[in-house]
Amino acid sequence: MLKRFSMMLLGLMLSLIITCNTTLEANKTSLNEFNEINICESWGFETGFSSLVVGESLGISFYLANFYETLLNYEDGEIRPGLAESWEINENNITFHLRKNVKFSDGVDFNAQVVKKNFEMIPKILGEMYVGMFGKVLTILDEVEVVDQYTVKLKLSQPYYGVLQDLTMLRPMAMMSPNAFTEDGASDQLFSATMGTGPYMLDSLIPGQSYTFVKNPFYWGKEPDVDKFTIKVIPDNAAKALALRSGEIDLIMGANKITYDSYNEFSSDRNYGAKISQADIRTRYFVVNTARPPFDDEKVRLAATHALDRQMMAKNLLYEIESIANTLLSPSLPYCDVELTAYEYDLAKAKSLLAEAGWIDRDGDGIREKDGEKLTGNIVYRSGMGVEEELVLTYVFTLKEIGFDLSISGLDMMTWYTDLARGNFVVGYNETYGIPYDPYSTINNLSITGNEGMTQQILLDNPEVEAKIAELLTISDQTRIQEIYSFILKTVHNNLAAIPISYMKELVIYNNKKIADYHFNGQPSNVDIAGVTIK
């Protein structure tokens, strides 16, 4: 009996060991299949997780595609279905047929009534100052009619050629859950939750340090590879590169977060993947302040334009990843393929123009003077934003060769934005809005009745330009729209207040032992975790 009992006990123990091992292996397999990555950003998201954050903070804007969706998508230069499966345009009305069986991450159903709520609240939250900044459709929206549960009609007061493009802008056109709104505005819940229909949702956060997101259990689309991702706040770009090499993070996405030296180093290392977007996403440019000396003088502006060595910058600083920009908006954008004469790099001509304008170096110190005033000023730019500082320093050095004495001011995002908008600068580094906002937002905001001082600085007060920008908001004839664009772009080009540098591409580098590929979405500046393919 004792022997028999011992054998039974041994069998039971072996059975338990096998069961435990099987469970451990199953858990191990499950753990391995849970795909988690870490990425980085230069700033935290103290302004919350709303798609309506505007003004000086970029906040969560580059990540919105992970949490929110729009009625329409912009992909490869075309308007495609988003939360709306199809649409018809009849005079000034647009009827959208919405996707069914879509829910927000808080479990609320998406339907026509929710779309109506969003379009009523978006302009209310943005306020008068910002309502037309990111697309003019909200300024001409008269009524939102709920036709049935999944059909909604936007009634506009007048035609607008950019209406469909406007509706692809995640900021501010992304649809949010009704719970994201109070009667008077945005809910405080948006400081601690994402409330969209996109593939991910906020899970947890350590303010100013890290933000963790998980899959939206209600997501209607294709399930992404990544189950969970954490955004770590690493302000310094060199520290970002070190974090990638050490394994602290797995991916860096964004041209402003990667120096081109780093990009080249990583792209030649077989342990890392590196990709460049095909599309020109934005234009880098210097804006000069035409409202104050010395750039109120056209000859000084022309001299500064001839002092910009784009070819050298493209080769030595941008590693020929970005193409030389001779115009403010890329010819690849709608309506922007306009023939304009390029201003070539010519220091002798720049010096001659300054002399003609009365700026002479009379005391031999290398700085030109006029009427007792030195040719001085400052250049403002954003610190810690990729190659931006190198571009500024190179331009300052070249301007010094022709008699300028400019100091540089590397500012945080908020201060830089405020100084440009208020005209507190002599020269400023800037970038256009980018896809899909360009060219529509850049052109609309050239108006002196627009909202952004930094854009208005590009043009002097010009009643003819004002009239033509206003006309754009009332017509749909493509021939006339192109005529107006040609006129405005030539006027901007000849005004010499915006000195284009290069057409930017978007960059990404990643640990290819963990990540097989990254796909840029239709708006390449979006950090799109659904575009990550895990090995």
Q: What superfamily in CATH does domain 41-45+191-279+506-534 come from?
A: Periplasmic binding protein-like II (3.40.190.10)
> In the CATH hierarchy, which fold is given to the domain comprising 283-503?
Dipeptide-binding Protein; domain 3 (3.10.105)
pLDDT in tens, 172-199: 999 999 999 998 899 999 999 999 999 9
Q: 58 or 120: whose pLDDT is higher?
A: 120
* pLDDT computed for residue 100 by the predictor: 97
- Is the pLDDT assigned to residue 169 strictly greater than 80? yes
Cα–Cα separations (whole angstroms), residue 458 to 157, 171, 282, 480: 29, 24, 16, 23
Share of the chain above pLDDT 70, in %: 91
Where along the chain do its domains lie? 41-45+191-279+506-534, 61-190, 283-503
- Is the pLDDT assigned to residue 508 strictly greater than 70? yes
State both tokens at 88: 């018809």
Pairing of strands 373-374, 376-382: unpaired
Pairing of strands 405-411, 376-382: parallel
Average pLDDT, the chain: 90
CB atoms within 10 A of CB 9: 10
Contact by Cβ (8 Å): 233, 209: yes
Q: Which residues of 350-376 are buried (b: 16+ CB within 10 A; e: fewer)?
A: bbebbbebebebeeeeebbbbeeebbe
- Is the pLDDT assigned to residue 267 strictly greater than 70? yes
Contact by Cβ (8 Å): 281, 434: yes
- Is the pLDDT assigned to residue 144 strictly greater than 90? yes
Range scoring the smallest mean pLDDT among 52-56, 175-179, 312-316, 407-411: 52-56
- Topology agreement, domain 41-45+191-279+506-534 and domain 61-190: yes
Cα–Cα separations (whole angstroms), residue 419 to 65, 378, 386: 29, 12, 20
pLDDT in tens, 462-490: 889 989 998 988 888 999 999 999 999 99
Contact by Cβ (8 Å): 60, 48: yes
Domain 61-190 top-level CATH class = alpha beta
